[in-house]
Chains A and B, each alone.
Chain A
C-alpha cells in the first residue's frame, strides 16, 4: 500500500482528543431537554423474593411525582430479549428466562427492577421510591453455581428446577476419554474465572421522547451501536415498527461489551415519555451500575490434558460452568459456549471435548465483557499448559514449542468449534516475546530479588482469539460542498478513536488531512444500517468498509474530474484534496468537483459494504514477570512484554492504546477485581470501596511490539485488536504468580484475583504444610 501522510499505518494523534480533553464531550448526562422529567428505578434489596405493592395512590400524589410504573402497567411490552438462547445437546430447549421490563411479582437478584418512578426532579423521584409500599417475602436464593447443581438446591425458576439453562458439548467424548484412559500423563486443573463488574467511567443513561403526532419515539442513550438496540427495542419490546423509533448515541465513556445490550431502562423511559408526553431522563448512579448492568466472565471449569511421555498433547477435555445470572441477557448463554469453541488454542491437540453448562443463579445477569469467552478459554488453557509443563519438568517455552500448530499447517481446521485459523506463527511470536522479555536473564533477576527477601516469578501465555466475524458494515463516504469528507458509519466509538482511524482509511484514497474528515455515527436517522462496535470488529470490518467506500468515492471523483480536465481516468491521481493529471499541473480541487453543475450528492458519495467471509485470528505471546512481597502477599508486576500479531497496524499509536488498556483490564482481573456475593445473594462488592479497580500505579511499563502476519480472510490483512490485551494478560500474569509461588513454596495453584491476602494465605498454608 502506498504510504500517505494521513493514511493507513501512520501513528497519528487522535483527532478527538482536543475536544474531549478540554471538556467538549457530550456524554449522556450532558443532554437535557425542555420539559424533561427524571426517572428512578426502584430495585429489589433481596436476591430472591416474592413481592407485592400496597396502595400506590399516596405515592402517585407526592409532590412532583408524575408516574409510578410497575409490571402491572407493562403487560403489553415484551421482555428484554435474549438473542442467543442455546439448546441442549439432544436438541431440547430448557427455559429461556428473559427479564420482564419490570419484575412480575418475584425479584430474582439484588437490583432486580421492581418499579419505575418519574418526577419533576430526581430527588422527588427518589423520595417517592422510598415511599413505595412494597412487601417482600424472601425465598431461598441460589447463589453459588456448584450448589445450584446439587440435588435439592433451591431453583431460580420453578419451571427449571435444576437451574440449568443449557447443557451443550462439542467433540467426540468417547474418543477423547479413550485417549485419556491410555495416556502416559494426565494433568488436570480446577479453575475459576472471576466475575467482573465493568465500571466504565460513564455509567449508562437514557432519555426517552415521544411525538404523539407521528406516534414515534426517540431514544438517546450511551451505547455501542444504535441499530441493534433500535431493532430489539422496537420489534421485540415495544412491538412497533423500527422506523417509529430513532436511537441516538453521543460520546460514550467506555463500553467494553456491556453497553451493547438492551436494558430495561430503555423501554421504561420510552413508555414513560409516551404516557407523560414529556422527555424522561434516567442516568445510572454507580450503585445502579453494580446491580443493574450485566456482569462479565464467572466460569468454574475443570480442564484436563492427556499427554504422551514427551509432553505431546494427545487430547484435552473441558467442563465449563458458566454463571448466567437470574435472566438470560442478550448474548449471555452464548458467551461461555463461544469460549468453548476456542479451546483448541494454539496447539495441535487432535482430540478435544468440551462440555458447557449455563447456570441460573440469583445474581445479576452475565454477558459479554471485553473478549467475551475468549479470555476465559485462553486463561484456562494456558494455565493448564503451565501445569502440564511443571509435571513433565519441561520449560514453559518447551512444552508450547512441542505442541504449537506450525505455520505450514495453515489454514488449520480446529478439532472443535468449526474454526479455520488462516494464519499464525505461534513459535515465532513466542520466541520473539521471550527474547524481548530477556527471559534468559530471569535467573539473575531472581537471584537479586531473593537477596532482597522477595519472591520472583516469570510467566508466559501464547493466546489466539477470534475477531470480526459475522455481519458486515455498510458505510457511506460523502464529499461535502466545502471539500470536506463525511463518513457515515454504523459502528460506535466508546473512546477507541474511530474518528481518527476511519479518517486514515479514507485518507488513503482521498489524501486529505484528518481534520477535514468527519465521522457521523450513533444516529439511526443519519446512518442507515450498522452492527455496532464489539468483537474487535470496528477496524477489520468497519475500517475495510470505509476503505472501500472511499475507494469507490475516489473513482467517482476521478470520473467527474476526467470530464472537467478532459483527461482519461487512467491518467488521474488524487493528491492533497485534488484530482491531478499525473505529471502535469492540471488539477481540480475537491471543492470545485463538489460544486460542479449537475453533481448530485449521490455522485459524490461512495459505498462500501464489507461482509467478512470468516473471523480473523489475532494471536501473540505475553510475558509477565512478577515480584511478590512474602510479608504482605502483594504482587507487583516488574516487567511486561507483549509480542502480538494483528496482521496490519492501521494506527500504531491507537493500537498500542488498545493493547495497553486491554492488558490493564487483564491485570485488574488477575490481581484485583473480585465480585463477592454472600450466601444470601447480597452483593458485597457493590461499590468502589470494595470492588478493586486497577489504578495507574498498579501498572508496569509495557513493552509492546507487533510481529504482523497478514490475515488471509481480511482484504487488508487486518486482525482485530480491541480485546486481545485482555486475553493474553490474565494467563501471563497468573502463570508468573504461580511460577513465583511454586519456586519459593511449592504452591501449584491460586485463583484470580491474586489479592495480597489470598497470596499471603497461600504462602502461610504452604509453610504449615512444609513444616508438617
Chain B
C-alpha cells in the first residue's frame, strides 16, 4: 500500500469538499474492493475520505411504496432488516449472499453501486427493480445510472446518499457463483410490478449489468419459467475467461432467470 491521507468528514458537504480539495482522492464506503486493490498497490489514491462517520447515511425505511436504503448501510443490515425482509425479501436474500460474512459486515450498498463491478450483485437488483439512485446533487434512474463495467452516471464530486427501491409484486435473485471468487458468474434479478417485468443480469457481460430484453418480453407474455424455454440473450459481448466461456454464461442467463422466476413464485 502506498501512503495516503485519511479524512473523516461528519457531513456529506464536508465529504464533498474534501473530495474536491484532494486530487485523486477516493471515497471509502466499506472498502471491500478498494482496500485490497490498494494493498496490492494497484490503486494509489492520494487521500481516502471515509464516509463511515457521516451522519444519516445509513439506515432503512419504508416510504410509501418504496424501500429507501441509506448509502452506507452494510449488506448484513439489509439482509437482516425486518422491513426489507417483509416488503422486499428478494433484496434481503441477495444481500445475505454477497461475498462472505466479513464483506457483508463492512461492504455497503452505496459502495457497491458506485463501484459497479460487472460481477457485483446489487446492480442487478437496482436495475431490475427500477431503483432510483439519490445523490447529493440529484436523483438518477437506474436505467440511466449503469453505463458499463465500473462506469456510472456519477459525476466528479457526486456522492450517493440513498437508494430508493419501488416494491415489486414479485421478485427474486438467482446467482451462479464463480467457483473461485464466489462473485456472480451470472446473477439474474427478476422483478414483476403490475404487468411490468424487468430482468437484470450481472456477471455475464463485458458491458456490466444489463436488462435482458428477450427474457423480459417472454415473461411479459406470461410470468412463468416455461416462458423462458428456448429464449436466450445475445452473448457476443459476454465475458469469456477460464471459469466460463461466453456460451456458458449465455446459457446460465436463461437457466438462472428460470430459477429466479420459480423463486419469485415461491416454488
Contact = CB atoms under 8 A, between A and B. Distances in A.
30 contacts: A126-B41, A287-B40, A631-B251, A631-B255, A632-B176, A632-B252, A632-B255, A633-B248, A672-B180, A674-B242, A684-B242, A685-B180, A688-B181, A690-B181, A690-B243, A692-B179, A692-B180, A755-B179, A755-B243, A756-B176, A756-B244, A756-B248, A757-B243, A757-B244, A757-B245, A757-B248, A760-B251, A761-B245, A761-B248, A764-B247
Nearest to A672: B179
A686 to B, nearest CB: 11
A672 B248 CA distance: 17
Contacts of A632: 176, 252, 255
A513 B223 CA distance: 67
A745 interface: no
Interface residues of A, number: 26
Contacts of B247: 764
A226 B244 CA distance: 43
Contacts of A760: 248, 251
Given A692-B180, A757-B243, A761-B245, 18 more contacts: A123-B1, A123-B2, A287-B40, A631-B251, A632-B176, A672-B179, A672-B180, A685-B242, A689-B180, A689-B181, A690-B180, A691-B180, A695-B182, A756-B244, A757-B245, A757-B248, A760-B248, A760-B251
Nearest to A123: B1
Contacts of B255: 631-632
Nearest to A286: B40
Contacts, number: 48
Nearest to A631: B255
A676 interface: yes
Interface of A: 123, 126, 130, 287, 631-634, 672, 674, 676, 684-685, 688-693, 695, 755-757, 760-761, 764
A123 B2 CA distance: 8
Nearest to A695: B182
Nearest to A760: B248
Interface in B171-217: 176, 179-182
A121 B243 CA distance: 38
**Residue from B3, B179, B244, B252 having most chain A Cβ neighbours under 10 A:** B179
A684 B1 CA distance: 23
B109 to A, nearest CB: 22
Nearest to A691: B180
Contact of A688 (B2, B180, B243, B248): B180
Contact residues of A: prevailing secondary structure: loop
A676 B243 CA distance: 11
B180 to A, nearest CB: 4
A625 B19 CA distance: 56
Contacts of B248: 633, 756-757, 760-761
Contacts of B251: 631, 760
A35 B179 CA distance: 44
A760 B250 CA distance: 12
Nearest to A633: B248
A690 B239 CA distance: 14
Contacts of A634: 176
Contacts of A676: 242
Interface in B213-267: 242-245, 247-248, 251-252, 255
Contacts of B243: 690, 755, 757
A695 B100 CA distance: 12
A693 B255 CA distance: 25
Contacts of B180: 672, 685, 688-693
Contacts of B181: 688-690
A683 to B, nearest CB: 11
Contacts of A764: 247
Contacts of A757: 243-245, 248
Contacts of B176: 632, 634, 756
B72 to A, nearest CB: 26
Contacts of B179: 672, 692, 755-756
A761 B180 CA distance: 19
A693 B176 CA distance: 17
A690 B182 CA distance: 10
B47 to A, nearest CB: 17
B243 to A, nearest CB: 6
Contacts of A690: 180-181, 242-243
A415 B261 CA distance: 60
Nearest to B40: A287
The 8 A-B pairs with the shortest beta carbon distances in the complex, nearest first, are A692-B180, A692-B179, A631-B255, A689-B181, A757-B244, A757-B248, A676-B242, A690-B180
A674 B181 CA distance: 13
A755 B243 CA distance: 8
A590 to B, nearest CB: 48
A760 B255 CA distance: 12
